[in-house]
Amino acid sequence: MAFRYHPSTIPSISCSSESPISNASLDAIAAGNHSIALALAIEANQLLNPPLEARRVLVDAASNSFVRNVISGNNGDILSIAIANDSVHALSGFANGVIVLWDIITGQPLRRMIGHGGAVTSVAFSPDGTLALSGSTDGTVVVWNTTTGQPMRRMTEHNGAVTSVAFSPDGTLALSGSTDGTIILWRSADNNILQRFDSDHGAVNSVDFNPIRQIIAWGAEDGTVTLWDFQQNSLLRVLQGHTDSINAIAFSSEGSLIASGSDDKSAILWNIETGDLLQRLVGRPREIVSGHRSPILDLAFSPDNTSIVTASTDWLLILWDVSSGEQLRTMYGEDIITGAAFSPDGLTVYTSSRNDNITAWDVGMSEVIQRYRSHQGDVLSASISPDERTVLSASADHSIILWDINSGQLLKRFVGHSGWVHTVQFSSNGLTALSGSADNTLILWDIQTEEVIRRFTGHSSAVIAAVFSSDNQLALSASRDNTLILWDVASGESIHRFENETEFPCVAFTPDSNYFISCSLNDTFLLWDIQTGEVIRRFTGHVDTVTQVVISSDGQWILSSSVDTTIILWNLTTGEIVRRFQGHRGSVWTVAFSPNEETALSGSADGTLILWDLETGQMLRRFLGHTASVFGVLYGATSESVITTSADNTMIRWHIEPYPRDIVSWITQNRYVPELSCEQRIFFHIALDCDLANNFLSNSTFPTLVPTDSSLYSGTQNAPLSLFTTVGSN
C-alpha cells in the first residue's frame, strides 16, 4: 500500500457543529441549490483555519453542480429561448413583451427589441442568424433584423395568442401556431400566407419543421401531435399517446424522430414513418429521481440525436438517452424552467426560467466512456477479463452477458440459471467463469462455447457471492442459508461447509488463498482459516450490515462497505480501524481498491460513486451517472477500466480521475459561483455587518450555527426568499 498509517492524525470526515458554513453548503446540496452550495463551500475553504470537512464539502458541491454560467435578464420572467447556429448569440422572450439578443460568451445584452404588446411566448433564429422570429400573446408574429434590432414585418392573421414559431431549415418559410387552433405557413420574406390549417384538436401549443422532409408538425391541447406533408398538402398521421395537453414538440436533426412533451408529465419519442411510440420518458420506479413531477414545458434533441433534454414546472432539467429512454442526468433549477435549447456542439444546454435568468448547463459526460444496455433487470455483479478486452455482467433477469469492453457490443448471452444471478467472476486465465444464483446453484461456464461445464449444488437458499481462489482450483460460495461452502472446482465436490448465525452477503479470499473473509448481517465480518475452518478474528466497527469486503494485493489491508453509509479501512493483521470514510447519503453496497491502492472507489444506494484518498481520508470526487443504486465497482489491471453495475439495468465504464489539487481554480473556470449578497453573508454567518455600499466586514469566527432545514433553500419558510436566490451577474 502507498498510504501510511498515522493513528494520531486520523481525520473525522463527518461535518460537525464547528463548521456552520460547511453544514449550510451540505443543506443547500440536499435542497438542490447547488450554486449556493458552491459559494458557501468556497467560503468555508477560505477561512483562516478551514475545518477538515471543508474540502470534502467543496468536492461534493462541485460534483453536484452542472451550471457553467448564469445571465440575468433584468426584465422579469423569461418564457422562451433560442440559440443561434454560431454558438455565440441567444434570444430570450420576456413576459413583459421585450426580446433581448445576447452574446452568450460574454453574457452581455446586444439588442433590446421592443414591438410586442403581450408576453413573448416563442422565439427563433433563421439558419444564418440574420433574422429572428417571435410570437406573442398579443396575437402577432414579428420578423426582426438581428443586426439592427428593428422589426421588419408583422403578421396579424391569428385570432388568439401565438404560442409557437419556427423557421424552415432554409429560412425561407415560417410557421406559427395559436390558441385559436390555427397553424399558418408563410413566406418569411414577405409574409405571404402559403397554407392555413384549422386544427381539429383545440389550441395549438407548439409547431416545428422537419429538417429533411417537407413535413410540419404541431402539438395540441387534446394531447395529439399532427404530422402534415405541406408539399403534398396531405395529412400523414396523428400521433396519440399523451393524456393531457402537449406543450412542446421537436424533430430530430436527421428527421426520423419527433419528441413531444406534455402536461401529463411525460415526453414521448415517436417514429414519424410508422407512427410507433418508441420511448415514453417518465423515469423508472427505482430511480433516485424518477422523471418529472409536473408538466413538461419544453424539450430539445441534442445535435447528434443521442439524447433529449426536458424542462418542467417542477424546476428540473432532465437529460434522457434516446435509444433506451434512460434518465441520464437530473439538474435542479431555481425556478420554473420555461425553455431549453442545446448549443450546436451539444455540450451545453441553455434554459430560460421564471426567475429572470438564462442558465448554461454542462451536459457533457466526458467521465462516462461507455454504457452497456441489454439486461432487463438489475445488474448485480460484473467481472473484467484478465486481458481487459471483455466484461461479464450478471443480472436479475437470470442471464449473464459477455460484452466487448470498448465498443459495448453484446458478444454472448449465457442462460442456465432459473433465478437472479447475483454474482459472476472470471477465472484468472479468462477461459471460464463462475456464477451464483437465487436458484441455489453455482455454474462453471466455458466462455468460448457458452456451455455449462459444471453445476454446483449444495446450498438450500440463494447464492449471493462466489469467488475463485488465486490458482482457480478452489471456489468459495456464500448463501442466504447461513453457510459458506468451499468447493473443488475440478470435481464440483464440496470440501468444507462453514456455518454462521446469519447469512453471508459477501466473501473474499486473501491473496494467498489460505484465509478468507465473510460478511455478516450483524454489522461484523469474520476472518477464517481455510484449513481449520476456525474464525481467527472478528472485525467490529460498523453499525449495520457489512455489504462487501476487499483485500489489498499485499494482504495487509481491508476495505469494508456497509448499510450504515460508511466505508472503513482496516489493518488485517491487528483488526484495528485505520480510517473511516463518510460521504454517501445511502447504503454503501460496494467498494474497491484502485490498482495503485492509493485511492478507493465506492458505490451507493444514492446512485453515486465516490473516489477517496486512502492516505488522508478525503473525498476526491463524486461521480454521477447511474440513476439507481450502484451495486458493483471493479477495476481492471490499470485505472483505465472502471466498471460499475446498477439497479438501473445498466453497466457504465468510467474515466476516473480526481479534481485538480487547486479545485477552487477549476470551479471558478468551469462552474458558475454566485456572489453572495450581504444579507446572505450575514445569514450564513460569513460576515457581521454590511455598510451602505453592500460591502461586508469579514468575520470568519462567528459562533452561531446556521439553520440546517433544507426547506430554507427553496425560500419557502423561516427566511426571506432573497437569502436563497443568486445575485444576477452578466
Residue pLDDT, tens place only, 685-703: 777 666 544 454 444 333 2
Could you give the CA distance from residue 425 to residue 442 in angstroms, rounded to a whole number? 11
Question: Over the stretch 194-209, which tens digit does the pLDDT of each residue have?
Answer: 999 998 899 999 999 9
Mean of pLDDT over the chain: 89
Q: Phi, psi at residue 109, to the nearest 5°?
A: -75, 135
**Confidence label for 73 from pLDDT (cuts 50, 70 and 90):** confident
Written as nine digits, the cell of 548 is: 462487501
Confidence at 6, pLDDT banded by 50, 70, 90: very low
- Tell me how far apart the alpha carbons of residues 462 and 112 are, in angstroms, rounded to a whole number: 68
Calpha distance 124→133 (Å, rounded): 5
Q: Looking at the predicted structure, is the pLDDT value of residue 100 above 60?
A: yes
The reply to whether 122 and 258 lie within a common domain is yes
Long-range CB pairs of 496-500 (<8 Å, 24+ gap) are: 496/530, 496/533, 497/458, 498/528, 498/533, 500/526
Q: Among 142-146, 500-504, 633-637, which stretch is predicted with the lowest mean pLDDT? A: 500-504
CA distance 686 to 401: 54
Q: Given a cut of 70, is residue 639 above it in pLDDT?
A: no
Both 141 and 161 in one domain: the answer is yes
Return the SS3 of 556.
Answer: coil
547 and 622 housed in the same domain: yes
* Location of C-alpha cell 461445464: 453
| Separation of alpha carbons 383 and 406, rounded Å | 15
**Closest C-alpha to 359, from 399, 315, 390, 420:** 315
pLDDT score, position 439? 98
Give domain status of residue 552, yes or no. Answer: yes
Residue ending a domain, choose from 316, 345, 362 = 362
Question: At residue 344, what is the residue type?
Answer: P
Cβ–Cβ < 8 Å for 292, 319:
no
Across residues 246-251, what is the average pLDDT? 98
| One domain for residues 19 and 97 | no
Confirm whether 661 is domain-assigned: no
Beta-carbon contacts of 537 under 8 Å, excluding residues fewer than 6 positions away, are: 526, 527, 575
Task: With respect to residue 665, please indicate whether it lies within any of the assigned structural domains.
Answer: no
Least confident residue range of 354-358, 368-372, 416-420, 724-728 = 724-728
| Across 459-469, average pLDDT | 96
- Whether the CB-CB separation of 1 and 614 falls below 8 Å is answered with yes
Please indicate, yes or no, if residue 590 is contained in any of the structural domains.
Answer: yes
| Boundary (domain end) residue, out of 333, 362, 391 | 362
Instruction: Note whether 101 and 144 are same-domain residues.
Output: yes
Spatial separation of the C-alpha atoms in residues 280 and 240, rounded to whole Å: 12
- What's the whole-number mean pLDDT along residues 260-268? 97
110 and 59 in a common domain = no
Residue 721 pLDDT more than 90? no
Whole-angstrom CA distances from 498 to 441, 467, 483, 517 are: 17, 15, 5, 12
pLDDT category, 711, cuts 50, 70, 90? very low
Express each pLDDT in 580-593 by its tens digit.
999 999 999 999 99
Domain boundary among 321, 342, 362: 362
Note the pLDDT of residue 713: 31
- Phi, psi at residue 283, to the nearest 5°? 80, 175
Non-local CB neighbours of 387 within 8 Å, separated by 6+ positions: 430
Single out the residue of 663, 652, 655, 586 nearest to residue 619, CA to CA. Answer: 663
Q: Has residue 637 been placed in a domain?
A: yes
Number of domains in the chain: 3
- pTM of the model as a whole: 0.86
Euclidean distance between CA atoms 665 and 668, whole angstroms: 5
- First-to-last alpha carbon distance for the chain, in angstroms, is 49
Q: Which residue bears the cell 418529472?
A: 292
Both 324 and 414 in one domain: the answer is no
CA 582, 710, 563: angle at the middle one, nearest 5?
30
Are the C-beta atoms of residues 25 and 61 closer than 8 Å to each other?
Answer: yes
Kindly state the average pLDDT of the residues 517-538: 91
- Domain assignment present for 192: yes
Q: Which domain holds residue 258?
A: 69-362
Please check whether residues 442 and 508 belong to one and the same domain: yes
pLDDT at 287: 66
Average pLDDT over residues 526-534: 93
Q: What is the mean pLDDT of residues 473-485?
A: 95
Q: Do β-strands 296-301 and 307-312 pair in parallel, antiparallel, or remain unpaired?
A: antiparallel
Within a domain: 666: no
Residue 48 and residue 144 in one domain: no
Residue type, 119: A
pLDDT value at 234 more than 80: yes
Q: Is 28 helix (H, G, I), strand (E, B) or coil?
A: helix
Residue 466 has pLDDT above 60, yes or no: yes
pLDDT value, residue 690:
65
Q: What would the grid cell of residue 34 be?
A: 447547488
CA dihedral sign of residues 61, 64, 66, 72: negative
Mean pLDDT of 571-579: 96
Which amino acid, residue 638?
A: T
Q: Is 336 helix (H, G, I), strand (E, B) or coil?
A: coil
Which residue shows C-alpha cell 437458499? 461
CA 328/CA 316 separation, integer angstroms: 13
How many contiguous H segments (helices) and E segments (strands) does the chain have?
5, 58
> Distance between CA atoms of 152 and 549, rounded to whole angstroms?
70
At CA 521, angle to CA 518 and CA 526, rounded to 5?
30
Residue range 465-482: mean pLDDT, rounded: 95
Angle at 111 (CA atoms; ends 173, 132), nearest 5 degrees:
5
Of 39-48, 538-547, 696-705, the range with the highest mean pLDDT is 538-547
Rg of the chain over all Cα atoms, to the nearest angstrom: 29
Residue 172 scores a pLDDT above 90? yes
Mean pLDDT of 159-166: 98
pLDDT tens digits, one per residue of 313-325: 999 999 999 999 9
φ, ψ of residue 270 to 5 degrees: the values are -120, 150
60 and 84 fall within a common domain? no
SS3 683: helix
Q: 16 falls in which pLDDT band (50, 70, 90)?
A: very low
Confidence class of residue 504 from pLDDT cuts 50, 70 and 90? Answer: confident
- Residue 237 sits in a domain of what CATH number? 2.130.10.10
Percent pLDDT > 90 in the chain is: 78
Q: Is residue 159 in some structural domain?
A: yes
pLDDT value of residue 75:
78
Burial class of residue 190 (count of CB atoms within 10 Å of its CB; 0-12, 13-18, 19+): exposed
Helix (H/G/I), strand (E/B), else coil: 36: helix
Examine the domain organization and report whether 343 and 415 are in the same domain: no
What stretch of H or E contains 578? Answer: strand 577-582
Same domain, 477 and 348: no
pLDDT of residue 692: 43
